[in-house]
Amino acid sequence: MVKRFHLYLIIVFFAPFFGCSKSDTSPNAVIVSIKDILPRDNEISGWVRTNRSWLARNADDLQREIDGGFEIYVNHGFVEGAMQGYIGRINDQTDVECEVEITDQHSSTEAQALFDDPQKAFSNPYTPTNPPSPNAQIEKRIFSYEMKFTKGKYYVAISLHNTDDKAEEVIGIFANNIGNKIR
């Protein structure tokens, strides 16, 4: 009985030192893969991943995923990228789609050059109310809200297929969630 008690004390004492968690979503979490930056299911309340996703580890992978538009990324230092679709609710509308695309552009200079590239320009951009970084723009389109921003070497583009006023708030939540994971 005493040996079991001592074993229990040893386990209890040392457990915190050896524990690990795969669910670390804090701003200090280590980014091992570009996919670590993407929100997990319900990390943004009510929004879950769909089966629409891709991961591009090089320019050839990217070309397979976004054929006809990959060159602009490669011309601005593309290293790797990922896209993830989400589905959620805005007001009374269910099954609202959101797509998040993140690319590692090798440096903040290259990410900014991609952001500023005329092919990526918004027609009527404005600064979000609570921007995820100083380089952030949002635009309301006919059927969606679009946001783009850079943080460090990352370029992020988010598309939310809804134009309710609440949609602008939701796209901002996605952007800040992602921005907080990038140091």
| Domain extent listing, the chain | 30-181
Positions of the chain with pLDDT lower than 70, given as ranges: 1-31
2.30.42.10, 3.40.1000.70, 1.10.10.10, 3.30.56.10: CATH of 30-181 = 3.40.1000.70
Query: How high is the pLDDT of residue 33?
Result: 85
Query: How high is the pLDDT of residue 183?
Result: 80
**Measured distance CA(72)–CA(174) in Å, rounded:** 24
For 145-182, give the DSSP string.
EEEEEEETTEEEEEEES--SHHHHHHHHHHHHHHHHH-
pTM for the full predicted model: 0.82
Helix, coil or strand: residue 49: strand
